[in-house]
Amino acid sequence: NNQSTMTLKYNFLSEEFLEFINSLFQDFFEIKIIKSDGSSVVLYRKTIDEIAAQFGATQEDPGQLISVSPGIVFDQGGVYMTGWDNLSFDVTQFRGETVVLVLSAGDVGDSIYDTAILLDEISVQ
């Protein structure tokens, strides 16, 4: 019961880059905790536009996003990824509670262009 930090690595891959930057199609990655009383706390959430801005990407220029097609192919378009990024969260407020950790990739506005999140090294210490 003395854990205070949750860490993880993630890599965001999507067909939504580059064509759907600044559009209604805002696939996302979200990390949240569901507490024992049913309430939830969002620890992290990033959309296509937020990631594009972070990596300097536009509809015409990938910035620092990494093209992985044709090596990695989903079913519709070219795939770009962020590369591995590290996240760290203070989880002391959840000590002594039974909680559920939810890591989700969401598809917004269509089901044609896919997004996937690769996860690694998830730990609570």
11-47 pLDDT, tens digit per residue, is 999 998 988 899 999 999 999 999 999 999 999 999 9
Band of the pLDDT at 115, cuts 50, 70, 90? very high
pTM of the model: 0.88
Q: Per-residue pLDDT for 112 more than 90? A: no
Band of the pLDDT at 90, cuts 50, 70, 90? very high
Please return the burial class of 30, using the count of CB atoms within 10 Å of its CB with bins 0-12, 13-18 and 19+: middle
Please return the burial class of 43, using the count of CB atoms within 10 Å of its CB with bins 0-12, 13-18 and 19+: middle
The pLDDT of residue 72: 74
**Are the CB atoms for 95 and 55 separated by under 8 Å?**
no
The pLDDT of residue 34: 98
**Are the CB atoms for 23 and 112 separated by under 8 Å?**
no
